[in-house]
Amino acid sequence: MADLYFAGVDVGSLSTDVSIIDHSGKVLSEIVIPTGVNGSEAAEEAFGSALNLADLTREGITAITATGYGRASVAFATGKTTEISCHGVGAHQLFPRTGTVIDIGGQDSKVIQIDSHGRMLDFTMNDKCAAGTGRFLEVMANRLELDLDELSSPLNIKGESAPISSTCTVFAESEVISLLAKNTPREEIVHGLQRSIVNRIWSMVTSIGVEGEVTLTGGVAHNKGLVALLEEKLGLTLNIPENPQTVGALGGAHIARRAYQSNLESPTN
């Protein structure tokens, strides 16, 4: 099965991610770009960049799975599936002992239980409010006049934490404004914001339970302070992918590869 290549295209609310693999599952290229206002254009740009990086042509890709909230806008995909399925498969490929995936995305967060093949068994999802997501952190970083790197600093998890009680982004922003007016140190506010996200994720985890190793996906996995707090809350060490934003795209590429191999093994007449 030489010279066969597969791609996953994940069009999210904040970023569009592409992963290209060969027939053995080896990653040839991965790309992350901002989605912007047009998911279709972002998908075309990211896919083109990934092709160039892998030194491949569009015609050389055997199958393409689109995923993410904007998957319907990927006209060149040969298949489409949910980001829940893709994150499960992607996490399994990176960490085969994964039984639970925590995905903190741009506009929602999910806790997913998977089997030994990466297939989804159960999940819970917060998609009614941006609190506890990448968008939540972006809003708060702007209000604090910090960039996301500063917001992701590995703070002392035993240190002071400003109280952020609201689970709504709008109300939480009002709390931050009030804390700033009281001259509360920014590091305490950041710590409080991180704790508020961890508490929201914890409530989702407790509703579904933890099985096996836990893998954290999504761009928020770059936030070292939040990761430390979440590990403390869970009482375990999280698997953190080298490129947590591309796990969904990677899973999509493997789903495309599996579907192609399955069709070879069970051809239809």
What's the CATH number where 112 sits?
3.30.420.40
Domain presence at residue 94 = no
Residues 108 and 214 placed together within one structural domain of the fold:
yes
Residues 230 and 106 placed together within one structural domain of the fold:
yes
Instruction: Give the DSSP letter string of 25-79.
Output: --EEEEEEEE-TT-HHHHHHHHHHHHHHHHT--GGGEEEEEEESTTGGG-TT-SE
Residues 197 and 219 placed together within one structural domain of the fold:
yes
Which one is predicted more confidently, 189 or 5?
Answer: 5
pLDDT tens for each residue of 117-165: 999 999 998 755 555 566 777 777 778 877 776 676 655 445 567 777 6
How many structural domains comprise the chain? 2
Domain presence at residue 53 = yes
Mean pLDDT of 183-190: 83
Domain presence at residue 91 = no
Which one is predicted more confidently, 244 or 152?
Answer: 244
**What is the pTM assigned to this prediction?**
0.87
Residues 128 and 32 placed together within one structural domain of the fold:
no
Residues 217 and 250 placed together within one structural domain of the fold:
no
Beta bridge partners of 79: 65
Domain presence at residue 93 = no
Residues 161 and 258 placed together within one structural domain of the fold:
no
Residues 253 and 231 placed together within one structural domain of the fold:
no
Q: What percent of the chain has pLDDT over 90?
A: 59
Mean pLDDT of 37-54: 97
Q: Is 7 in contact with 20 (CB distance < 8 Å)?
A: yes
Domain interval for residue 208: 99-240
pLDDT tens for each residue of 53-84: 999 999 999 999 999 999 999 999 999 999 99
Mean pLDDT of 247-263: 95
